[in-house]
Every structure is written in structure tokens, then in C-alpha cells.
Structure 1
Amino acid sequence: MSLLTTRGLSKSFEGLQAVNDVDFDLPQGEVRALIGPNGAGKTTLVGMICGRIPPTSGSVSFDGCDITTLPAHKRIGLGMAYTFQITSIFAGLDVAENVALAARRRMSGDAVEEAVMAALTRVGLSDRINQEAGDLSYGHQRLLEIAMGLVQAPRLLILDEPTQGLAEAEIAAFKTLIRELSDNTTILLIEHNMSVVMETADRVSVLSFGEMLAEGTPAEIHANADVQAAYLGTG
């Protein structure tokens, strides 16, 4: 069964068609990578999925319910978590309090502290709980934002360019983390790093000029001539 479905999803900005008539199905329990050239419409598509951008036309369904007009905070309540392409941490608060703010959407009391520590341990930041978030490196800020998503125990975790700014060792740890999370969380991963895509995704969707160009396994996408011409630069 599809956890997330879009039908005919489109968005135009002052005459510019950013996303055009996208049908998209994400089954529960899958890790799906969304790739495409810069300007392909990936962030706009995800913005409509998570409720931050209203579509011009089309529909979004989550777990069988139409959520097209539902505001973003109510989608979070249904079990969606979304990390931004540009970090959205609270720079003046310490690492633990950033995650606690996210945790309090779903729990209270001692459960918050336990969940915060578990989330920070999973992303490798448990030794930085008292550090001011704004003092973290950019890569660590990305990991903090992932922890803020994880602590909500989402049914769908949407990660927008999560490995941007990460060192090679951190990227390797991120791949391991995604494989671990996929046991109980559906993941939509917007990513440019092709080794991350090829090693973590069950299936890959390719967006080009706002339209869905191809979908398939990582191996199928890598061998697809249209994708090579549009994105991989080998066609």
C-alpha cells in the first residue's frame, strides 16, 4: 500500500511551470530517492508534499487520506517529518533543546529527555548535547536537523540534501543510519550524492524540468539513457 500518493500535482510561479502533472507513489517501508538536475523542481515538489507550498492543481494523499489543503503543522501531526535544504535549527539554543522542541510535539516529561538522547546518539551528536547549535559546523547542523526529525518518530521522513556539507566519514555513517531507519520508517531522500542514492535507495525517481522522467531501481536508473542525458551527463 502507498503511504504517500500524488496525482496530477502541479505548481506554477507567475507563469513558470516548476512542477507539471506529477503522479508519484511511495509505498510504506520504502527508501525512495528523488534526483534531478538543479532547477528540476525537486524542492517545489517536496514543498507541496509537506504542505509548505500550495499546489496550483492536483492532489496529495497520505495513508489514503486527501491532505491537499492540510497545513504543514497538521501533516506533521499525521506522521510526516521534513528536514530543509537550508538548515532550520534554532542557533541560539543548545543541541539538546533543539531536539527537545521537536520532541514535545509528540510527548512530555521524562520521555522527552530519553527520546532526545536516543535521537542524538543515532546521528552521532550525543557528545555535543550542551553545545550551542549555531556553533556547530554546517555538516553537524544537518545532522542535528535529522535528529529533530527522528525524535518525532515519523511514519514518513523527508530529507532534503541531507549529506550536503558532510565529511566523507559522516556520509558513510549517514548511509548506515538510513539503512537502519528503513526498518520502521518510510524515507523520501532528495540527494545529489549518487553514491548515497545508489547504496541506500530501494527505488529512484528522476525529475527533469518539473516532470517525472523515470522511476526504477538504482541499477535501472543508472542504465537509463534518458537519465544519463538529462542528469548523469553521460548521454
Structure 2
Amino acid sequence: MTAAPLLSMRGLSKHFDGLQAVRDVDLDLAPGEVRALIGPNGAGKTTLVGMICGRIAPSAGRVTFDGADITALPAHKRIGLGMAYTFQITSVFPALPVRENLALAARRRLKGAAVQEAVRHALTRVGLPPDSAEQAAGNLSYGHQRLLELAMGLVQAPRLLILDEPTQGLSDSEIDGFKALIGELKGATTILLIEHNMSVVMDVADRVTVLNGGAVLAEGTPAEIHENAAVQAAYLGTG
């Protein structure tokens, strides 16, 4: 018997002043699945994620999480249910040390000594050097700020981790480390990955959903998507 989806969307749509950014999207994420969301620039990926996270109110449709309708739930309450997400543009606290950025995220679920232990573990998992802990987050390279954001998501032990362009700015070795980390998380954490690096998508995703013009163009395994003629014409063939 197939497990019920952890995250489900039905008819999710968003328009801005007459512009239809997302159109009638149906999407189900199974527990422990790694789902990649791809598509050309302007396809509606970030708007869709904003509606999932509660940062953007949909014009139509609904979102359910673990069977509960969360369509009208504010973002901070979705975090409380076990969602965590990183942004396309980094959103660390630049004046605070790396350690305190992580501790702030960890304190949503932990107290006392457990916070610092979670901070150390998260730094190690994402591959940030130990001496970075005391640096101001704003002094990190862009790629390391992306890794810090990922660590801030992990330290919350989320049930659903949403990553928007997580490998942007990472070196080849850091991308390899990211792939290995997603492999470790797979099965225990449900992951929605918005990513332009097709090597990452093909290596880590269980399934891929392709958006084009705000609507779902195709869905399938990485191999199926790679061979899909409509996807090739709309997206892969352009890159």
C-alpha cells in the first residue's frame, strides 16, 4: 500500500495583477522522497514554493501537509509543523556569528546544551570549516552562506526541507558534498529541491516535476524527464 503524501497540492494557482504566475498545479510528495522542481526562468517555481511555505497566499487551490489543510496557515506555523526552507537569495543574519545563526534556528526545537551540539553537528554535515563558527555570517563567501542556510534548515530536524537553488555559488567539491548529504537525508527527510544544475537533479532526485509557464509540463523519474521531448524543447534543449 502506498503511503499517504506528506505534502499535497491541488489546483494551486497564483496571479499578480493579471499575470498568471502559477496555474492549477497538482503535486504530491511522498514521505522520504527527494523531488526536484525544474523549469526555465519565470516558470513559476519560486512562486509555487512561496505558496507551499506560506509566504505567498494562493489565488486558488489548497495545500495539505500530513493530511491537514494548511492553505491559510501563516509561514511561522508551518515551520512549527516541521517545514524548513532556504531561499534563492541568502537570508542569514550577516552581523551575527555563524554559530549564533545556527543556534537561533536550533532553539525552535531544542534547549540548553543540546543547541550547541546540534550546531556542531550541522556545521560538520554541510562541510563548513570548524573555524567558521565564530565568523560573522556576512563575511562568508556566497557559497558558504548557502551552506550555512542549509545547515540552518537541517538543525531544525524538519520533516520537509525545501531548498531553492542550494548549489548556486558552490564549488565542484562542495556540490559533491551536497549530493552526498542529500543521499544521507533521503528516506528520513522529505526534500523539495528547486535546482538548475541538472547533474545534481539527475543524481539525487527520486522524481522530477517540470514547470513551464506556471503549469506542470511533465513529471517522472530523472531518466524519463531527460528523454521527454516536450521537456527537451521547453527547458533542457535551451541549456
> Do the two structures share a fold, i.e. TM-score over 0.5?
yes
Matched, 1:86 2:80: no
Q: Which moved more, 1:30-39 or 1:103-112?
A: 103-112
Residues 40-96 of structure 1: CA distance to partner in whole angstroms, max 9, x if unpaired? Answer: 000000000010000001000000000000000000000000100000000001111
**Secondary structure of 2:235's partner?**
helix
CA distance in 1, matches of 2:151, 2:213: 32
Please give the residue correspondences for 1:4-43 in structure 2 after superposition, counting only pairs within 5 Å.
4-43=7-46
Shift of residue 126, structure 1, vs aligned partner: 4.4
CA distance in 1, matches of 2:59, 2:213: 16
CA distance in 2, matches of 1:65, 1:180: 28
Matched, 1:196 2:200: yes
Q: Give 1:136's match in structure 2, choosing from 133, 136, 140.
A: 140
Shift of residue 167, structure 1, vs aligned partner: 0.6
Matched, 1:174 2:178: yes
Matched, 1:185 2:225: no
Structure 1 unmatched ranges of 5 or more:
none
CA distance in 2, matches of 1:123, 1:232: 29
Would you say how many aligned residue pairs link Structure 1 and Structure 2?
A: 235
Shift of residue 16, structure 1, vs aligned partner: 0.1
Shift of residue 131, structure 1, vs aligned partner: 1.1
Instruction: State TM-score, norm by structure 2.
Output: 0.97
CA distance in 1, matches of 2:164, 2:12: 19
Matched, 1:113 2:116: yes
Partner residue of 1:46? 49
Structure 1 segments of 4+ aligned residues over 2 angstroms from their partners = none
Partner residue of 2:101? 98
CA distance in 1, matches of 2:105, 2:87: 14
Shift of residue 7, structure 1, vs aligned partner: 0.4
**Secondary structure of 2:6's partner?**
strand
Q: Is the 8 A contact 2:32 2:190 kept in 1?
A: yes
Partner residue of 1:208? 212
Q: Is the 8 A contact 1:117 1:126 kept in 2?
A: no
Q: Is the 8 A contact 2:31 2:187 kept in 1?
A: no
Partner residue of 2:221? 217
Paired-residue identity, %: 76
